[in-house]
Amino acid sequence: MSGFWPCTAPEKPGKAALVVIDMQVDFCAPGGWVDQLGEDVSNTRSVIPAVAEALKIARGAGLAVYHTREGHKPDLSDLPANKQWRTRVHGLGIGDEGAAGRILVRGEPGFEIVQEVAALPGEAVIDKPGKSSFHATDFDARLKTVGITHLIVIGVTSDCCVQSTFRDGFERGYECVILEDCTAAVETPNHQATMDILKAYGGRWGTVSDLAGFRAAVEALHG
């Protein structure tokens, strides 16, 4: 399988991890934060079946699976003042009481991963206060402890947390792949711009592939 991995294939399936970013009620379910703001969640919802399929492939092949959730401690001690201020302009900001509990606060219903792609027992869930899964978390340490070298990054949103994790993975030396049909943004132009930027020159920070490419690459690992 040439062209899927940025440089080389992982030595064995256990060296690759599927990273599912922020498939939370607040971002991609009716009644969640984005929906309550009156924004369209059809883009973020549309990738749920593809994300579920990617999870099936990864679990079947023995890849490690990591889920992430963006949110803050109930006392908001890890929430920068400007981040809260920016979201409150919309009328319903981080930490405020909404229809699915307090917005982006750990432990609230809106913070949970949508049930279609929920974590299975034993799968790691990384709770993060920032956009990047590597910022102020033990994600990097956990990956290195078990010898993960390759990351397949999917989830929402492509322009925000998916892109941040992909870029930071590159900085830290991981070979990173995004599956284009397993990620989306709230606004389509931002998704398209993100894909154009990440694909340019064959991928400066990693590669962009899709579900079919992932399936073939995983089959090749077992070949």
Partner 1 sequence: MADRFASVAANPYSWPFDGQWNAADSALLVLGFQNGMVAALHAEPEVKVAARLVSAVCDAGLPVIASRRGLAETLSPVAARRAAMGAGMGDPVFPPQTPEWQLAESLGLPGDAPIFDHPGDNAFYSTGLEAWLRQRGIRNLVLAGLPTEGLLHATQRAANDMGFECIAVSDACKGTTAARHSGQLRITAFGNGLFGTVARSDQIIAALSASALN
Closest distance between partner 1 and the C-beta of residue 173, in Å?
3
How far is it, in rounded angstroms, from Cα 151 to Cα 140? 11
Tokens standing for residue 182: 């397993």
Nearer to partner 1, 49 or 147 (CB): 147
Nearer to partner 1, 93 or 213 (CB): 93
Closest distance between partner 1 and the C-beta of residue 68, in Å?
13
- In the complex, the residues that contact partner 1 under the rule CB under 8 A are 6-8, 80-83, 85-87, 89-90, 130-132, 135-136, 159-160, 163-164, 167-168, 170-176, 186-187, 189-190, 192-194, 196-197, 200-202, 204-206
Closest distance between partner 1 and the C-beta of residue 184, in Å?
14
Tell me, yes or no, if 128 is annotated catalytic.
yes
Task: Print the SS3 string covering 10-43.
Answer: CCCHHHEEEEEECCEHHHHCCCCHHHHCCCCCHH
Closest distance between partner 1 and the C-beta of residue 88, in Å?
9
Nearer to partner 1, 43 or 55 (CB): 43
Tell me, yes or no, if 22 is annotated catalytic.
yes
How far is it, in rounded angstroms, from Cα 25 to Cα 41? 10
Nearer to partner 1, 117 or 217 (CB): 217
How far is it, in rounded angstroms, from Cα 112 to Cα 96? 16
Candidate list 160, 161, 176, 182, residue with the active-site label: 161
Nearer to partner 1, 18 or 198 (CB): 198
Closest distance between partner 1 and the C-beta of residue 152, in Å?
14
Q: Which residues, 6 or more positions from 158, have their beta carbon under 8 angstroms from its beta carbon?
A: 178, 183, 184, 185, 190, 191, 194, 195
Backbone angles phi, psi at 34, to 5 degrees: -60, -40
- Between the alpha carbon of residue 82 and those of residues 78, 79, 107, 192, the distances in Å are 12, 8, 23, 27
Tell me, yes or no, if 182 is annotated catalytic.
no
**Active-site annotation, residues:** 22, 128, 161
